[in-house]
Each structure stands twice: as structure tokens, then as C-alpha cells.
Structure 1
Amino acid sequence: MAHPPAPTLPNFASPFDSTSAVPGLAAPFDPATTLIRMPRLEIVTGFKRSTIYKLMQCPDSGFPQPVKLSNSTARGAPVAWVLSEVQSWVKSRIEARDRVAA
């Protein structure tokens, strides 16, 4: 017996798109209100999870702190980071590099 075809899902916008592809949502993409989870954070920063958590422990790094996504206090409770804060941190690293090179 043949299986029915898998349902297709709409192509929702990536957090890196400039406008939303979500039907009925005409507002442009806003990094200040977009939360990204660890896999996307690793892509944006180029760091792995362990390095990200080390940076978060060091106040001098200026690395953004996560937003809790639940009221759980358990280790491993879901968190995410504000995309605009991560982008600002990355830009500050680029500017620091440029200051040293000058």
C-alpha cells in the first residue's frame, strides 16, 4: 500500500531575510525583536557552543546574554539570543580589528 505524499509547508522567511515571507505579515524583518537559538548563533558568530558559554561567563567580552524562553530554572532550559545584539557584538569585534590594524 502506497503512503500519501508528505504535506508541504510554506517557505517561511529566514531571520536573515529583509522582509517576511509569512502571509499576512507585511512588516519588514526586525532584528531587534528576532530571537535566534544556538544553531543559528553558532553560524552568526563562527563559535561553537562551549566557546559561546565561556564568552557569556566573561563580563569583559561584552557577549550578549540569552533570553529565557520559559520559567524553568533547570539546566538546559530553552534560551535564545536577540539577533540585533549578536550583530552589534560581531560588528564591535570587526571594529576592534580595524582599530588594531590602523
Structure 2
Amino acid sequence: MSHQTGKTDASAIPDALKNFDSLPDSANVRQPVVEGLFSCSAATVWRMVKRGSIPAPRKLSERVTAWNVGDLRKTLAGV
């Protein structure tokens, strides 16, 4: 967020979030996208995972954790 205008800097929004609706269900997205989808902090994302409110991410490699787009869409739709 810009301190001067109080508006979010559009360049700070991940492309995967901007284009979420056009991603295939098989795609994976990283944590900043999940934070944007659910309008919450990183800590809240992990609390939601722990209580089962959102699906758990998948470990794609030692240092890469991502969420499946199809699973997130089901959660957002309330399925």
C-alpha cells in the first residue's frame, strides 16, 4: 500500500492473482496469491489451513509450496 495515497500499488499484485480466473484448475499458485484471494495475512492463511478452512498446499520442491487452483476455486465457491 502506498503511504501517500492509501491505495494499493497495482504492481504489487501478483500476475497470478490478476489472471486467476483464466488459470486452469491444474495450475498452482504461491502464498501471496492465496493471501490476495482471501484478503488475509500470511499467518491467517496458515491458520485457515490448520483448521481446514482452505486446502493444504502441496510441496513442489524443497523450497516451493503452492496451492492448487482448482482446490482454491472449490473453496471460494463454498463447495
The normalised TM-score by structure 1 is 0.52
Task: Report sequence identity in percent.
Answer: 25
> What is the aligned length?
64
Residues 40-79 of structure 1 aligned to structure 2 (within 5 Å) = 40-59=33-52, 61=53, 63-70=54-61, 72=62, 77-79=63-65
Aligned mates of 1:34, 1:15 — CA distance in 2: 12
In structure 1, list runs of 5 or more residues that go unmatched: 1-11, 19-28, 96-102
Q: Deviations 1:52-85 (Å, cap 9, x if unpaired)? A: 10111114x3x11101111x3xxxx320001111
Larger RCO of the pair (alpha carbons < 8 Å, separation 6+):
2
Question: In terms of Rg, which structure is larger?
Answer: 1
Root-mean-square deviation (CA, aligned residues, Å) is: 2.4
Residues 15-54 of structure 1 aligned to structure 2 (within 5 Å) = 15-16=19-20, 18=22, 29-30=23-24, 32-54=25-47
The normalised TM-score by structure 2 is 0.65
Q: Residues 15 and 34 of structure 1 are in contact (CA less than 8 Å); yes or no, is this contact kept in structure 2?
A: no
**CA drift at 1:16:** 2.5
Q: Deviations 1:16-75 (Å, cap 9, x if unpaired)? A: 353xxxxxxxxxx41x2110001111111112110110111114x3x11101111x3xxx
Aligned mates of 1:52, 1:37 — CA distance in 2: 11
Aligned mates of 2:21, 2:48 — CA distance in 1: 27
Query: What stretches of structure 1 move > 2 A for 4+ residues in a row?
Result: 12-18
